[in-house]
Amino acid sequence: MIDIKFLRENPEIVKQNIRNKFQDSKLELVDQVIALDKENREIKQEVEALRAQKNKISKQIGALMAQGKKEEAQQIKEKIAADAARTEELSAREKVVEEEIKRIMMTIPNIIDPSVPIGKDDSENVEVERYGEPVVPEFEVPYHTDIMERFDGIDLDSARRVAGNGFYYLMGDIARLHSAVISYARDFMIDRGFTYCVPPFMIRSDVVTGVMSFAEMDAMMYKIEGEDLYLIGTSEHSMIGKFIDTIIPEEKLPQTLTSYSPCFRKEKGAHGLEERGVYRIHQFEKQEMIVVCKPEESKMWFDKLWQNTVDLFRSLDIPVRTLECCSGDLADLKVKSVDVEAWSPRQKKYFEVGSCSNLGDAQARRLKIRVNGENGKYFAHTLNNTVVAPPRMLIAFLENNLNEDGSVNIPKALQPYMGGKEKLIPKK
């Protein structure tokens, strides 16, 4: 959420930012906020003047009564009563205006970083760099669920009967591989100085609206019926929520946390063949990283975060690339975002396995996450990034480590988490 003072003083910058995000329907919201903000400040001024006047003339009543000037005292009482009614009327209007300002401000997109490429959607995202050499083997790479089935490692039919489409049972070596990747990612981030955390898997509505836009909330979140609780779509939600309405001493920054959680997402809409199986699902597990830091350090942390994901995937012999998200592909709260994509030998292209985002002070402003510094209080900056999210990550792992005989190599880094196994041998 943008600082309303910034919007008031820089309306054209805010409007150009909206145009850069190809959300022209929101342009009128800027003028609406400016008009409401003006009305709100005028209300506050009038209320303050009425209260000051009340304090001043109230003192006259006793003196007038003592002098026997009851009629003049009564006139002042009537004046005070009229002013009180006006104050009450203004206060009620002030509440309505402030709610409307908040509602609109939460739909105006955050100011994007000047380095963000301008584009309408993800088709205009820009490749930044590749890491590792993409390989297409001479043998045919099966669809990922076919690979898993050779190990008796997945049961989609039972999952459909139990929970419907978009769910799965992972079994045997594939389930163990899934857990091994999560455990390895946890230790990888701990070794890089992050504090490990297991957060709540449900959050209240004030946290939901603090960490994401209304459009994202509707598209992603599952609400618990009869409760003010939502299942998290990523642990970032509850991890950033951990700092809601807090004042952090500046010397306690940065806060660097890595968290494990299951994630639950609606994933509305039809999807193509390559997004079936376990690519786009309603439930998955994830290792995440978040940072709460001083504004001047957020750019540095942004680069560190996505590099962590690149390094982890390369340690597992998976080629990846980074992709700069264009303006139209950025969620409204984001200042800048980079996707990490893994190489798919089957598809002969890269696909998304993680996303790193700098949200500036947008989440902090909504959640009231402040820092107590030498020169007073200010809003922190927040960032988040996917460490690893199996089972999607397993697609890249299995395809890139698959041998022609159907066996799967286990990279050295992961072998301690797989009981020392160097290779998985298929059962079929």
* pLDDT, tens digit (0-9, with 9 covering 90-100), for 42-53: 999 999 898 888
Query: Which is the catalytic residue, given 265, 321, 346, 366?
Result: 265
pLDDT in tens, 130-162: 999 999 999 999 999 999 999 999 999 999 999
Is residue 276 annotated as a catalytic residue, yes or no? Answer: no
**Residue 273: pLDDT over 60:** no
Query: Which is the catalytic residue, given 192, 204, 276, 280?
Result: 280
CATH superfamily of 122-424: Bira Bifunctional Protein; Domain 2 (3.30.930.10)
Mapped to the 3 state alphabet, what secondary structure does the chain carry?
CCCHHHHHHCHHHHHHHHHHCCCHHHHHHHHHHHHHHHHHHHHHHHHHHHHHHHHHHHHHHHHHHHCCCHHHHHHHHHHHHHHHHHHHHHHHHHHHHHHHHHHHHCCCCCCCCCCCCCCCCHHHCEEEEEECCCCCCCCCCCCHHHHHHHCCCEEHHHHHHHHCCCCCEECHHHHHHHHHHHHHHHHHHHHCCCEEECCCCEECHHHHHHHCCHHHHHHHCEECCCCCCEECCCHHHHHHHCCCCEEEEHHHCCEEEEEEEEEECCCCCCCCHHHCCCCCCCEEEEEEEEEEECHHHHHHHHHHHHHHHHHHHHHCCCCEEEEECCHHHCCCCCCEEEEEEEEECCCCEEEEEEEEEECCCHHHHHHCEEEEECCEEEECEEEEEEEECCCHHHHHHHHHCECCCCCEECCCCCHHHHCCCCEECCCC
Cβ partners under 8 Å of residue 135, min gap 6: 319, 343, 345, 400
CATH architecture of residue range(s) 4-105? Orthogonal Bundle (1.10)
Query: Which is the catalytic residue, given 94, 124, 275, 352?
Result: 352
**Residue 194: pLDDT over 50:** yes
What's the rounded mean pLDDT across residues 400-413? 97
**Residue 275: pLDDT over 80:** no
What's the rounded mean pLDDT across residues 111-128? 96
Distances in Å between the Cα of 180 and the Cα atoms of 102, 148, 176, 276, 394 are 44, 16, 6, 23, 11
What's the rounded mean pLDDT across residues 387-392? 91
Is residue 296 annotated as a catalytic residue, yes or no? Answer: no
Is residue 130 annotated as a catalytic residue, yes or no? Answer: no
Query: Which is the catalytic residue, given 213, 238, 392, 399?
Result: 392
pLDDT in tens, 311-326: 999 999 999 999 999 9
| pLDDT value of residue 258 | 98
Q: Is the pTM of this model over 0.85?
A: yes
**Residue 55: pLDDT over 80:** no
Query: Which is the catalytic residue, given 186, 355, 365, 370?
Result: 355
| pLDDT interval class at 264 (50, 70, 90) | very high
Closest CA to 144 of 317, 375, 390, 388: 390
Answer with the residue of higher pLDDT: 59 or 335.
335
**Residue 119: pLDDT over 60:** yes
| pLDDT interval class at 191 (50, 70, 90) | very high
Is residue 355 annotated as a catalytic residue, yes or no? Answer: yes
Is residue 71 annotated as a catalytic residue, yes or no? Answer: no
pLDDT in tens, 67-114: 777 777 777 787 888 888 889 999 999 999 999 999 999 999 999 999
In the chain, list all ranges with CATH 1.10.287.40.
Answer: 4-105
Mean pLDDT value across the chain: 93
In the chain, list all ranges with CATH 3.30.930.10.
Answer: 122-424
